[in-house]
Chains A and B, each alone.
Chain A
Amino acid sequence: MNEELQLKLQAYLDGELPEAEAREVAAWLAQDSGAVGLMTELKNTRAALALHERGVNVPESREFYWSKIRREIERSDAAAHRPAPAPVSPFKWLRRALAPGMGLALVVATLFLITRPGTTAPGLGLTVATADAGTFTYRNFESGATLVWLPYPAENRLAGGGSGGNLQQQ
């Protein structure tokens, strides 16, 4: 029996043949013992598999099985409701790279102003403070102006949710 006939016999068993072809196979089965033998084998295998399927159960208690599902549902629901992170600026890396250098430049400029002979006007108050790591304050008591340098990254609480180094003037 060639492969095509074997597959046709199987299709007959599975009810997949058009009516005309099914009639042909039925006639063939009536006179070919080889085809009958193969058909019997296919039927027996099907019956055995049907029996097997009924015996498989979850190897865990109902409560334990459900608890894992529930936990995962709650976890995924929480993740779905979490706000999306703020969009990342394409210049973030540049600000991050320049922030320490700019802070240092501010210190140097301040020291230069303090130490430069003849430039300190009477009554000029000048304070450089490092209240937090990397934070500098410049205060001019005469004019009442204050400049605060807040470095990046934003995890510094003084910077709040701001992005990058900020100069605030009061």
Chain B
Amino acid sequence: MAEKNHSTAADLKLVEWAQGGDMDAFEELVARHRDKIYARAYSMMRSEDVALDLSQEAWVRAWQRLQQFQGDSSFSTWLTRITINLCLDQLRKQKRQKAESIEEMDEESGGVERQMPAVTINPTERLERGELRQRIDTALGQLSHEHRTVLVLHEFEEMEYKEIAKTMECSIGTVMSRLFYARRKMAALLAGLKNED
């Protein structure tokens, strides 16, 4: 029997070995995809500690459900969906625990941002990469979790409106509206037209 080489094996082979109980194969998968999974959790939760906990919980869930992975999508996509669902569950819990703020209710309608003149400055040209990253980080943190999640799922996960609506349990119209509002607010924040406080 050929010896396993975890570091050079393809993801699907590692999954196959892990499904047979090979923990080293699973560790290799963690090493390969941990940054992406953590980044997804962080972009949704905006907290390093929470993102670490949820990303690690996602890996544990993945191990427990590994037999369910059929290879219909890539392992990375499958795991990212687990992470997103965990984050959404956590956000729903948090939302139940605290009433929505007045600002968030205002964001839902997005009235002010819709009326703003278009921001034609390209932030990727105007700002240093570090500064841009910092501004995006701050801006993402200023969005309500619904708007941020729509943005993340669409821009980072490249999900279609229909898929986002299903994941977030809302209508396609709501997805479109939230996405539009989130993009406009991001544009304003990146251009420095809106207070970041």
Contact = CB atoms under 8 A, between A and B. Distances in A.
Nearest to B122: A44
Given A56-B43, A62-B34, A10 B179 contact: yes
A46, A48, A60 — most chain B CB neighbours (10 Å):
A48
Interface stretch (A63-71, A100-108, A141-149, A157-165): A63-71
A115 to B, nearest CB: 67
A50 B155 contact: yes
B91 interface: no
Interface residues of A, number: 38
A59 B47 CA distance: 12
Contact of B60 (A40, A53, A62, A76): A76
Interface string B4-38: 00000000000000000001000100110011001
Interface in B63-84: 63-64
B124 interface: yes
B63 A73 contact: yes
Give the interface SS of chain A, mostly helix, strand, loop or mixed.
helix
A26 to B, nearest CB: 18
Contacts of B121: 44
A52 B118 contact: no
A45 B129 contact: no
Nearest to B23: A70
Give the interface SS of chain B, mostly helix, strand, loop or mixed.
helix
A72 interface: yes
Interface string B174-197: 001101100110110010000000
A164 B12 CA distance: 55
A62 B38 CA distance: 12
A66 B27 contact: yes
What is the size category of the interface that chain B forms with chain A? 35 or more
A58 B60 contact: no
A16 interface: yes
B88 interface: no
A7 B34 contact: no
Contacts of B48: 59
Nearest to B154: A14
Interface of A: 3, 6-7, 10-11, 14, 16, 34, 37-38, 40-42, 44-53, 55-60, 62, 65-66, 68-70, 72-73, 76
23 contacts: A10-B176, A10-B179, A10-B180, A16-B161, A42-B187, A44-B119, A45-B187, A46-B183, A47-B122, A47-B124, A49-B151, A51-B129, A51-B133, A52-B136, A56-B38, A56-B43, A57-B35, A58-B35, A65-B34, A66-B30, A66-B31, A68-B56, A76-B60
